[in-house]
Structure 1
Amino acid sequence: MLQGVLARLDDAGNHVPRFTAPRCLLERQAVGGCDACHTTCPHAAITLGMVGSSVQIDPDLCTGCGLCVQVCPSGALEYNLEPAMQSVRDQQDPAARATPDASLTCSRSGAGGPSLTCLGRVTPALLSAAGAWGAPLTLIHGDCAGCPVGAPDVPQRLARVLDTAQELRAPTGQPAQVTIRPATPEDTSRSLTVSRRSAFGALFRAGKQHLAQSIPDSPLPFVDWSVPEDRTPQEWTWRERSLRPTPPEDAAVLWPAPLVDDTCIDCPVCANVCPTGAITRDLQPDGGVQLLLNLGACTGCMACLHSCPPQAIHAQTHWRPAAFRAPLLLRESDTVM
């Protein structure tokens, strides 16, 4: 058992996010490309190159702040969301705490409790999941203005992430109860009240968390691109899963995705540039083609919209819950270009 715990600790410290090249808009050669990660990185750790090596991260310059992951429109860059989610969920277990409140803190804030390298790693999926569990979550940051890990505007970025999460949660009728605030002197001395029953379970799950007060980075496995389900980034998989309580059938769920009009020329460009395979072209035995959209796999990057030769694609921001249950027919044609 001890060897298993030590192996879990050895998995920690992978501060460089995983890069999945087929999801990158540069690799997909989408019109307009994308430089969001390069522009956002506060440490000049990311350089952009040619197809085949479009995004390169210098591990010596990367601090693991997660801001590049936060802004990546297609999920090409990502951290494992599940350790942070598990930590929030564990804290909201009445058997593990005296109160149902949960917290995540910046590792340099000096505050007690589970911490992330930087709160720049917080994404809408994490906050939406906390909302689905129905208990308050406090995000405690340090002195971002002078922090060598993240960026001065991390609190403002967190506020925008929370706005997105609240828009996503709006149709559930149960908003996320999230507070964003700086650390106080009282935070440095606070400790979590853990029951004897759950103490070892929390230690085993969180590993290094209880030794260094940080949530370990478990490296994500490589994406098996032959499995369509694996092409969807964790972020968007969890956004959909977190739509609990289930929205009413007439609710409007925030999920930007494409629609196609009659000026479509049935070319394959939209499917070719889609970074997650959300758009597929189904060739019919009679020579026609169906253009299908898997809404849950769509990240809303709009590479299809920007790359469409006749500009036949338009964005729709909200969808009914039924749209997530089966592929949507965007267009059907008797001919193929």
Structure 2
Amino acid sequence: MLRGFLDQLGEADNLLPRFTAPRCLLERQSVGGCDACHTTCPHQAVNLGPLGASIQIDPDLCTGCGLCVQVCPTGALEYGLQPALQSVHDQRAGAPEARGTGEAGATLACSPSEAGGPTLPCLGRVTPALVAAAGAWDTPLTLIHGDCAACPVGAADVPERVARVVDEAQQLRAATGRPAQVTVRRATDEDRSRTHGISRRGAFKALLRSGQQQLAQALPDQPLPFVDWSVPEERTPQEWKWRSRALSPAPPETAGVHWPAPLVDEKCIDCPVCANVCPTEAITRDLQPDGGVRLLLDLSACTGCMACLHSCPPGAIYAQDEWLPAAFRAPILLRESDRVM
């Protein structure tokens, strides 16, 4: 009975990422658009289509490597973060010998590496939020890959891509004064010799946990539900929600938090373009009863894609990379005007 249940969990893998059209810069008709997912996919599985279906993923070609998700600037493509986050969180308190590894902290390995322990289809699934969360939990994280040059799942440069993800996470965590402890390395024979069995008692204990927690050694994906666009909180991708949560311990009030986002200067003509192209509706126009307009920014919802900057007709928008913690606690007034275009 237990074996059958575990087999069902193992079959729950959902290789295709979720596509949320309103977050896509092509759907938002941002100037310059975006083809990052298309150009990044090493398997030609991502194609660009018409409005309403701007991103089309061929299920026969997609390997679930996650590289398209890793480069998406807006969270239009995403996998559920919960399984990997839960695995790192659960491993943080366990002794290495109890987990069957020689590593302090937590490990995540790509499946092709054949390393023991929790696995992802590819380290292309690793995002800054995952690395930053490990830092927030003060958990050393070891990311183990196989022979990427010969791998049919990801790409030869996955280790370099992961290194850039780690750098981005470290920029975010710099404000906390406590960088994440991350090691990226190739699998060894010792890694491949480890096995991670699940005891009957341990399995049933795990079954009693929250449904969001994962039991299987491999981290199965559950298909993500559609985003309810009528709920403002759901418009922000999970990646950026977790980046915000990973700002722990809380940065000092005078510390600059690395979070690229837009500001507006006096060239603004009060047109609606920036709000129209914003993929998460982090920028909103608040029309006043007297005919004026207030331009507001929800910093925590901003993904830093800068579609607003590239699309602004008068070039009134510029990027600011660092913000004080107080900027995350209330909407930022970008501009207030007594007229509206």
TM bucket (normalised to shorter chain) is over 0.9
In 1: Cα distance, 2:29 partner to 2:128 partner: 27
Give the match's secondary structure for 1:108: helix
Task: Please give the root-mean-square deviation of Cα atoms over the aligned residues, in Å.
Answer: 2.2
CA contact (8 A) 2:14 2:221 kept: yes
Q: 1:179: which partner in 2?
A: 183
Q: Which of residues 149, 161, 167 is equivalent to 1:163?
A: 167
| Identity across the alignment (%) | 73
Q: 1:331: which partner in 2?
A: 335
CA contact (8 A) 2:298 2:331 kept: yes
Q: 2:65: which partner in 1?
A: 65
Q: Which of residues 147, 154, 168 is equivalent to 1:150?
A: 154
**241-250 or 91-100, larger mean C-alpha shift:** 91-100
Aligned length in residues: 333
1:217 aligns with 2:221: yes
In 1: Cα distance, 2:114 partner to 2:245 partner: 33
Question: What TM-score do the two structures reach when normalised by structure 2?
Answer: 0.93
Detail structure 1 runs of 4+ shifted over 6 Å in the superposition: 1-4, 193-197
Give the match's secondary structure for 1:103: strand
1:173 is displaced (CA, Å) by: 1.1
CA contact (8 A) 1:135 1:177 kept: yes
1:135 is displaced (CA, Å) by: 1.6
CA contact (8 A) 1:91 1:100 kept: no
Tell me the alpha carbon deviations over residues 292-315 of structure 1, each in whole angstroms, 9 at most, x when there is no partner: 000000000000000000000000
Tell me the alpha carbon deviations over residues 254-287 of structure 1, each in whole angstroms, 9 at most, x when there is no partner: 1000000011000000000000010000001111
1:194 is displaced (CA, Å) by: 8.0
Q: 1:246: which partner in 2?
A: 250
In 1: Cα distance, 2:279 partner to 2:339 partner: 25
Q: Which of residues 115, 120, 142 is equivalent to 1:116?
A: 120
CA contact (8 A) 1:90 1:202 kept: no
Q: 1:287: which partner in 2?
A: 291
In 1: Cα distance, 2:294 partner to 2:22 partner: 23
In 2: Cα distance, 1:200 partner to 1:102 partner: 22
Q: CA separation of 1:45/1:149 partners in 2, compared to 1, >3 Å: closer, same or farther?
A: same
Q: 2:30: which partner in 1?
A: 30
**228-237 or 191-200, larger mean C-alpha shift:** 191-200
1:206 aligns with 2:214: yes
CA contact (8 A) 2:93 2:105 kept: no
Q: Give ranges in structure 2 of 5+ residues lacking alignment.
A: none
Q: What letter matches 2:214 in structure 1?
A: A
1:100 is displaced (CA, Å) by: 4.8
1:298 aligns with 2:298: no
In 2: Cα distance, 1:269 partner to 1:121 partner: 33
1:52 is displaced (CA, Å) by: 1.5
CA contact (8 A) 1:20 1:77 kept: yes
CA contact (8 A) 2:107 2:118 kept: yes
Structure 1 residues 79-118: aligned runs within 5 Å: 79-94=79-94, 97=99, 100-118=104-122
1:190 is displaced (CA, Å) by: 2.2
Q: CA separation of 1:295/1:94 partners in 2, compared to 1, >3 Å: closer, same or farther?
A: same
Tell me the alpha carbon deviations over residues 22-43 of structure 1, each in whole angstroms, 9 at most, x when there is no partner: 0000000000000000000000
CA contact (8 A) 1:257 1:302 kept: yes
Tell me the alpha carbon deviations over residues 1-51 of structure 1, each in whole angstroms, 9 at most, x when there is no partner: 979956972772110000000000000000000000000000000110221
